Structure 1
Amino acid sequence: MAQDNLGIKPTEAELTLLNVLWKLGPATVRQVHDAVSETQKTGYTTVLKILQIMHEKALVTRDESNRAHVYAAANSQTHTQSSLLKDLVSKAFGGSTSNLVMRALNESPSKQEIADIRQLLNELEQQE
């Protein structure tokens, strides 16, 4: 299922729709529109057009077997996030993951986030 999509990165609007599809699973345009409309004002035809563009870019798949087409994310959330993160680290942090982490930690993480980070670091150390 995971494709590289030839380095195509989703736009902000496309990421919004991908987040809906990752949460809902395969969904019709109406279902995606309803979910997006809970947090922002967006027209049905706008959602439809973005999904059509995303299909052309191979960011989503489309099942046309029913009258209402069903869209699904072409890649997992983890795959897409990893790809975007690698791009961000390369472009904004000169390839340094530690610079990214240090910057993120300066953005006031919650106590729970700090505990989660500490646990992850402990697990990584144990793997070595």
Structure 2
Amino acid sequence: MHGGTLLHTLPLVRGHHDGRIVLIGDAAHPVGAGQGASMALEDAVVLARELGRRTTTSNALAVYDRLRGDRLGKMVKAAIANRDAKTAGPVAARLRDLIMPIVFPRMYERATGWLYDYDLGAPPTAASATADAG
């Protein structure tokens, strides 16, 4: 086994829950994109909402996994692209350094909107959980 480095990636976690424990954030999806805390908050909101809406925990966990899958898959792709950009060879690194000052201010907000403008909707409340269960 080798030690971790700045650009080391961890394998994807196969099981995010086992009936007693649910992993969220970096514990569930260690993609290395610097988004562990925000992913944990998103996970918590989606998980709480589905636990309040479903009649069984297993149903809630299945829906939670499905709902989070697309976004987390996109996060994995972004993390790989970020890592690859940081490990570019000398020619690619020089091109990146020349192009980024021109492209970054014009494209960054649009390219990362999916990450920072994501709307989960209102978090679940005790009243909505009671109404949904009834």
Which bracket does the TM-score occupy, shorter chain normalised? under 0.3
Larger radius of gyration: 2
Structure 1 length-normalised TM: 0.23
Higher RCO (Cα < 8 Å, 6 or more apart): 2
